[in-house]
Structure 1
Amino acid sequence: MDLRYLLRAEGKTIQAMWVAMGSLSSFALAIVSAAILSRYFNKTDYGTYRQILYVYNTLLIIFSAGLPSVFAYFLPRYTAEQGKDIVIKVTKVLLIAGGVFSLFLFLTADIIASLLKNPELSRGLRIFSPIPLLLLPTLGIDGIFSTYKKTIYIAIYNTVSRSLMLLFIVLPVILFKGTYIHAIYGWLVVSVLMLIIALYYKNIPFRGLMRQGSSLTLKEVFGYSLPLVGASLWGMAIRSADQFYISRYFGIEVFAEFSNGFIELPFVGMVTGATSVVLMPLFSKLIHENTNGNGTAELLELWRNALTKSAIIIYPIVIFFLFNSRLTVVTLYSDTYANSAVYFSIAMMLNFFNIIVFAPLLFALGETRFYARMHMCFAIIAWAGGYMVVIGFDSPVILAVFSTAMAVVKIAVSLRHVGVKLNIRVFELIPGKEILLLLLHSILVMISVKLLIGLMPFPVENILFLILSFIFFGVLLLPTARLFNLNYISVIKPIFQGTIAK
């Protein structure tokens, strides 16, 4: 079964494209915001600002109670008129949860500041505290519009809302040469606008429809959402361990450098996310209908094909940025954050492995309990192991390496479990030959690009070097692919053909 067929099936190509574009715009605007604020704030102010984001995003998982996910699960089971009732009910609950979140932040600001050893954080959190009340009711846009196959609105909403946030957060800092406090005030104002826009957007699929009471109760809603909170909490615990230890033991300035550098390339999540959306229902069907063993062979072929094509799209770009990590970071954040390059390089190493989207396979196999237990175990390892790394090595870089290595091991454990369940060897799941050829080709092309630019008769620096490198890389990559039996165009072309056809 060819991936071209999968991407065309049931009109999912264009839906996935709009979701990916929305994600890309959100990430791009977040990067622009970070790049600007890094230049206007001193490291203390910027580190405090990033700590506020860290606290908010960490607690958001708890206080949102998994509610944004209920839309995609329950709305398809009810009529559109009843769906309108469900959206209103859940949004009201999110509003209440936002109020509790805001109150919690205000009352515990001193405790959180003490934990992170930053007294200034207490003031910032209290000023920030009304924002969750305004933002939590905006959650769930993705689930609503994906249910009614109107994902273009997700891209529009994400682009508009993130652009407004960029404008209101950054502009006061630039105009008044302000501190992180000015940025928070701007965030507070834009949150009011985002709430109004989100409530308008949530009503778009139900225009002209009369609200009809649904039989869905809050007990059912929380019965579905709260178990997801448990899995999310373990995932949050894993992600927040290194941030906590670096913030507490290495200071605000190192935390600022780490925050700007330890990020993954956004398009990786776009590609793997779209692949997950397409593969999940197909995996479920193949496993459910696997009565004579043929389903396993078909699933394996489908999996390897998808993995190979994801690698063809992702690996060359990862190699490019890996070779240009320092220049990329300096271009984005200025020379002040040159030290962030080492964290950027470490984080990108994970991109060679996380093209393996194991979650759809585990869910299709009904292994959700294993999925939750695995994350619980790795959360314990993240905190206990992270503490030992801090005490034993006293190095934020080693802590970043440990965090990345742990993520790779988690992928390996998941694949082994899948192999046991399907009664196949783990190596059968990995197209090793194709991946090695991809890596070799991309590395050789990137080395050639470095040599070519080094031979130029005039000095090339910073952004110009990055642009020329990218152009030369693309020009050399495509025609030399045949020497390695690779065809990048054949992977990208069907996606655009499917989009145009839809």
Structure 2
Amino acid sequence: MIVDVVTTKSPKNRTVLTFLLALANLMSFSVGIITAAILSRYMDVVEYGTYRQVIFIYTTLLVVFSMGLPKCYSYFLARAPIEYGADIVKLLNKLFFALSALFSIFLYLGADFISDIMGNELLVDNLRYFAITPMLLMPVMGVESILVVYGYGAMVLLYVFAGRLMMIVCTVMSVVVFDGGVTGAICGFVVSSAFSSIAGLWLSYWPFKRVTSYKSNIRIGDIMSYSFPVMMQGIYGFFIGASSLFFVSRYFGVEEFALFSNGYKELPFLSMVIGATSGVIFPEFSRMSGNGDDKRNFVALWRTVWYKSSTIIYPLSVFCLIFAGDIMAFIYGENYRSAAFLFIIVSVIGIVRVVAYSPIMLSLGLGREFANTHLVAAIMILALDVLCVNFFPNI
């Protein structure tokens, strides 16, 4: 393996990069909220629930089909000189193109099967319209990580802003202006994904445009060896994230699914803060691990990140617990005020999950242990969901 020669970022640069990445995550999350808020008002509950099911199916299966490869960008690029970066990106992109093709074929051919499992006939045609999306978005899943590794935080912000704005325009206009319903929303999502794909592929090689590139000695075997535990965690994470949504869709119907998918969402700022800090400290931990830094340096950086994150997350978590009903009604309309109890339940997570532990575990080669924690959680959640639908049938 290539040994890292990249200079470690200063704390000031890390803070600026984290702030820019947090803004990008805020934009990304805000677009999801804005789109959901508009579609909830212009589509009936069944159509909106179908749209949410399509997105749910994509995001959950994406964890499996991506095979943990998105984490490889930060890990391998942070350890290698920039002259080898373009070759590493090219290798990872080839793997993503192959996996995305398999994903798209699965969605198209398996639409009937998935529709039967989810108990919604409207999914068949809409999944087939959506099937091209993995081939558009998966090859650019690593673009933000690439730009973060080389300190292009402003470029990440611009890319996310343009992509999410295009998503709002295409998805919402298809429903509001052209009255396309759920199929129009899906087609609008696909069109916006095409724009994101073109821009993302170009930006993936932006950091290397003035660099003389060389072929790295990293092979597919090295990548798969690292990504396999991450892939297993992704599979377990698939069950963790999809289990409750599946049981609600299967046993309570599409209308209850719409209520559940709107209410049971993490705090608006939680993923923003955690995602930003993880995106910055993961390559930093990877550099430190490659350079053989003392473990006390890892702990010191971890504590700093935890303290700064908690000062933001804790007060806002309490606010959301108190005003959950008003927040749901303001975002989605009065029809979804009853989802407040779900929002209260998920808001408690913010008090516990302040900093993601994946960056430090994966950078230290503890991928197997990282995966095992998710295996235990997946087994517990599946078991509890089965008990709930049989003995306490209420979402």
TM-score, scaled to structure 1:
0.71
- Distance change in 2, residues 1:278/1:99 (3 Å): closer
267, 270, 273: which is aligned to 1:271? Answer: 273
User: Which structure is larger by alpha-carbon Rg, 1 or 2?
Assistant: 1
Question: What is the identity, as a one-letter code, of the residue corresponding to 1:339?
Answer: S
Q: Equivalents in 1 of 2:262, 2:336: separation in Å? A: 8
Q: Equivalents in 1 of 2:189, 2:36: separation in Å? A: 14
- Distance change in 2, residues 1:146/1:333 (3 Å): same
Equivalent residue, structure 1, for 2:352? 353
- Distance change in 2, residues 1:183/1:380 (3 Å): same
Q: Equivalents in 2 of 1:357, 1:188: separation in Å? A: 31
- Give unpaired runs (5+ residues) of structure 2: 1-8
Question: What is the identity, as a one-letter code, of the residue corresponding to 1:92?
Answer: K
- Worse-matched range after superposition: 188-197 or 24-33: 188-197
Deviation, 1:361, is 6.1
Q: Identity, % of aligned pairs?
A: 34
Equivalent residue, structure 2, for 1:39? 41
- Distance change in 2, residues 1:190/1:74 (3 Å): same
158, 180, 183: which is aligned to 1:181? Answer: 183
Deviation, 1:28, is 0.5
Question: Aligned with 1:338: secondary structure?
Answer: helix
Deviation, 1:284, is 6.9
Deviation, 1:67, is 2.1
Deviations 1:140-165 (A, max 9, x none): 01221122111221111111111101
Equivalent residue, structure 2, for 1:64? 66
- Give unpaired runs (5+ residues) of structure 1: 1-6, 397-502
Deviation, 1:386, is 0.7
- Contact 1:283–1:360 (CA under 8 A) maintained in structure 2: no
Q: Equivalents in 2 of 1:77, 1:126: separation in Å? A: 40
Equivalent residue, structure 2, for 1:201? 203
- Contact 1:95–1:136 (CA under 8 A) maintained in structure 2: yes
Equivalent residue, structure 2, for 1:371? 370
161, 177, 193: which is aligned to 1:159? Answer: 161
Deviation, 1:369, is 3.0
Question: Higher relative contact order at CA 8 Å, sep ≥6: structure 1 or structure 2?
Answer: 2
Runs of 4+ in structure 1 over 6 Å off? 282-285, 301-305
Equivalent residue, structure 2, for 1:238? 240
- Distance change in 2, residues 1:368/1:29 (3 Å): same
Equivalent residue, structure 1, for 2:384? 385
Equivalent residue, structure 1, for 2:342? 343
Query: Does 2:107 correspond to 1:108?
Result: no
- Contact 2:305–2:355 (CA under 8 A) maintained in structure 1: no
TM-score, scaled to structure 2:
0.89
Q: Equivalents in 2 of 1:70, 1:242: separation in Å? A: 29
Question: Aligned with 1:266: secondary structure?
Answer: coil
- Give the paired residue count: 384
- Which structure 2 residues correspond to residues 36-435 of structure 1 after superposition, within 5 A? 36-275=38-277, 277-278=280-281, 281=285, 289=294, 299=299, 307-355=306-354, 357-359=356-358, 367-396=366-395
Question: What is the identity, as a one-letter code, of the residue corresponding to 2:255?
Answer: E
Question: What is the identity, as a one-letter code, of the residue corresponding to 2:150?
Answer: Y
Cα RMSD of the aligned pairs, angstroms, is 2.7
Q: Equivalents in 2 of 1:189, 1:202: separation in Å? A: 20
- Distance change in 2, residues 1:229/1:213 (3 Å): same
Deviation, 1:271, is 3.1
Q: Equivalents in 2 of 1:53, 1:329: separation in Å? A: 20
Deviations 1:436-471 (A, max 9, x none): xxxxxxxxxxxxxxxxxxxxxxxxxxxxxxxxxxxx
- Distance change in 2, residues 1:240/1:81 (3 Å): same
Q: Equivalents in 2 of 1:137, 1:362: separation in Å? A: 25
Question: What is the identity, as a one-letter code, of the residue corresponding to 1:13?
Answer: T
- Contact 1:71–1:143 (CA under 8 A) maintained in structure 2: yes
Q: Equivalents in 1 of 2:357, 2:91: separation in Å? A: 34
- Worse-matched range after superposition: 74-83 or 346-355: 74-83
Deviation, 1:375, is 1.1
- Distance change in 2, residues 1:305/1:158 (3 Å): closer
- Distance change in 2, residues 1:308/1:389 (3 Å): same
